[in-house]
Structures are given as C-alpha cells and as structure tokens.
Amino acid sequence: MFEYDQQIVDTLLSKSTDFQRLYQKHVELKQRVHDANLRAEAMDEFSLENLKKEKLLLKDKMAAIIEGYRRAQV
C-alpha cells in the first residue's frame, strides 16, 4: 500500500492509535473488496463501489498522516 514509506508506516503503527485504526480498517475493507471481486462475498455493485470509495478515503487519510509525519521530521 505505502511501499515507499514502509519505515514511516511501521513507526506510525507503533506510535499512533489513529493510524493503527485507519490501517486496520483499510486492511479489512481491502479483504472485503477482494472477496467480493472473487464472488466469495455476495455483494451488489453499488455496495462494492461504496466499499471501494471508503477504502480509498482511508488510504487518503493515511497518506495525509504520513505526509504530516514526514514534514515534522525535516
């Protein structure tokens, strides 16, 4: 997900409960989207699109936290 920022992600996962919460929810949604795409989880297209949007929103929030952390370290 954030391959180029893995060190920062690891640091935030160990220090930030907010980042941990976002990360865990993103992992959960990523799995649900994957399962829906494989038809392992029954889901209509509207619900699947909403899950994808929610997952993307979480990723954007984590990216903002990562960028804030990066700026604070400079």
Report whether pLDDT(10) > 70: yes
CB atoms within 10 A of CB 58: 20
* Per-residue confidence (pLDDT) for residue 1, from 0 to 100: 67
Two tokens, residue 42: 């029954």
Two tokens, residue 17: 């409960």
Domain boundaries along the sequence of the chain: 3-73
Measured N-to-C along each axis, helices 6-15 and 45-73 cross at an angle, to the nearest 10 degrees, of 90
Tell me the per-residue pLDDT of 17-62, one tens digit each, with 9 for 90 and over: 999 999 999 999 999 999 988 887 778 899 999 999 999 999 999 9
Question: For residue 1, which amino acid is it?
Answer: M
* Per-residue confidence (pLDDT) for residue 43, from 0 to 100: 84
